[in-house]
Structure 1
Amino acid sequence: MASNTLAGLDALDLDVPARDSGRLGYRAWAWLWPKALAVALVILAWELVHLTGWKKYVLPGPGVTLSNLWDQAQTALLWHAIRTTLERAVIGFALAVLIGMVVGALVSRIPPLRAAVGSMITALQTMPSIAWFPFAIILFGETTSAILFVIVLGAAPSIANGLITGVDYTPPLLLKAGTLMGLRRLSLYRHLILPASLPSFVAGLKQGWAFAWRSLLAGELLVLIANQPSIGVLLSTYQAQADMASTVAIMIVILILGLCVDSAFGAADRAIRRRWGLTGTG
């Protein structure tokens, strides 16, 4: 009898990894198939438009474009350009996060400072990034610093506003409870206010990344730095050569990179909602 029980437990233990892997496969499929369907529909619509002959010499078909993209992927130039662009994106966004967090933390907790510069943050957020480039080029010249400067100006206000909104919506009862537990100033901010404002802060980060990415690509189109190939430089070069297949291929690369980053933010958002018990799953 005991041996039968142990055998049953062993079988149950072996079945748990199988169930876990099956659940993981189901989640991966549930995540993948809507995106695959959307891509298939876009390619189908693209092919139908191309077959009609509308803008035939401007809009190449998906077959020619995807073949061009595959050929470019076999070269070092494309990967060098992607690396250069992503390095600038990471550095610029990291600086924007640091500055946005500091500004957001100070403005959200110091009323006179908020009254002085609170509306200015929103005004900066609404400024088109491209409007900053003449000033950035005069200030830094046609260098990477000019691009990073505009990335920070484009992204930091959104990040700061996200943190300010999260702090504003921290429940007063929660703040009183933290105070009664002995939390003061920095400890109150670190252990209570920041975790409570995390959903709004992540939303601000996501919006800030969108502004940073647009600012970066606009900068690479305007600020052409010698011996530094980037996605923007490739896009500008192919447009000048009227090579539309290569141009659209680079635009697809930009879209793919944007989707990858959006998926990362989506995963972070889902993790936060699970931690807060907002998804109905453990």
Structure 2
Amino acid sequence: MPLLIKRLLFFAALFVLWESVYHLNLVYSFWSPTLFPSPSGAVSQLYIGFFETGILRVAFSESMGRIFTGFILAVLIGGALGITLAVSRLADETLGSLVIALQPVPSIVWLPIALMMFQGGSSAILFVVVLGGTWAMTLNMRMGIKNVQPLLIRAARTMDYKGAELIWKVMIPASVPAALTGARLAWAFGWRALMAAELIGRGGLGRTLMDARDFYNMDLVVAIMFIISAVGLAVEYLFFSRVERKVLRRWGLQEKGSGR
């Protein structure tokens, strides 16, 4: 059975089970019906929010604009920082310690400062998203550069590669698998940071979710959770997994025809 069919059947079974429990709850009142939404109600809210009121369409567009902008900035900034830390011992011993100190700090902690710095609005949320992904990209890029095989570097030097040329033509291409891992983590951390920041900030799916909660519209809350999960699945399986397979085959780390 194809993998896609297995996954669709699995989620369909979850949907049916959830809907059955919802209807049992209506009869036996295990929980408050208001606080126990149904998946069919969530699907209905998805249709209303995207095609009738447009609330979810606007919120989705705003969130996706923020995450893509923040992700690109995090990859660029984190990649540059990682390369700097890998090739400069002074930077690694000074700036590197700062990166390691900041990496465990949840990016949402920066939101109050960002709101004051940028006077609220989307810039504050974008700042938090960039911070959420930058450190993971930095550390993975640094590790990828440092783990380049010494034999490869010595061979490149015998061909008169040195300085910036050695970095751009040898070390960075050799560290692409590690950079891909960093980009994947940067996306995941940035996406989580975005949702957390929007819960407190303005606009986007996170703010819409909080508004739905305030009006006790649990079907809409679940609908937004569906969107968040669907975006995560789509980015992972339609982008990162495919790029990963190509990169691993290109670098000889996976045989052709293998993979998920």
Q: TM-score, normalised by structure 1?
A: 0.83
1:115 aligns with 2:128: no
Q: Distance in 2 between matches of 1:183 and 1:159?
A: 26
RMSD: 1.7
Q: Distance in 1 between matches of 2:167 and 2:2?
A: 38
SS in structure 1 of the partner of residue 103 of structure 2 = helix
Contact 1:100 1:157 in 2 (8 A): yes
Q: Distance in 1 between matches of 2:100 and 2:13?
A: 38
Q: Distance in 1 between matches of 2:131 and 2:115?
A: 14
1:104 aligns with 2:82: yes
Structure 2: which 5+ runs fail to align? none
1:257 aligns with 2:235: no
Provide the identity percentage: 33
Choose 122-131 or 165-174, whichever is displaced more: 122-131
Q: Distance in 2 between matches of 1:42 and 1:119?
A: 46
Contact 2:125 2:201 in 1 (8 A): yes
Matches of residues 231-270 of structure 1 in structure 2 within 5 Å? 231-263=205-237, 264-270=239-245
Q: Distance in 2 between matches of 1:34 and 1:185?
A: 51
Q: Which amino acid aligns with 1:106?
A: T
Q: Distance in 2 between matches of 1:166 and 1:186?
A: 17
Q: TM-score, normalised by structure 2?
A: 0.90
Q: Distance in 2 between matches of 1:240 and 1:215?
A: 21
- Pairwise CA distance, 1:31: 4.7
- Pairwise CA distance, 1:51: 4.2
1:33 aligns with 2:5: yes
Choose 254-263 or 63-72, whichever is displaced more: 63-72
Matched residue count: 250
Contact 1:124 1:153 in 2 (8 A): no
In structure 2, the residue matched to 1:82 is: 60
Q: Which amino acid aligns with 2:123?
A: S
* Runs of 4+ off more than 4 Å: none
Q: Distance in 2 between matches of 1:68 and 1:81?
A: 14
Contact 2:130 2:190 in 1 (8 A): yes
1:172-206 Cα shifts (integer Å, max 9, x gaps): 11110111112112211111111111111100111
Q: Distance in 2 between matches of 1:138 and 1:64?
A: 39
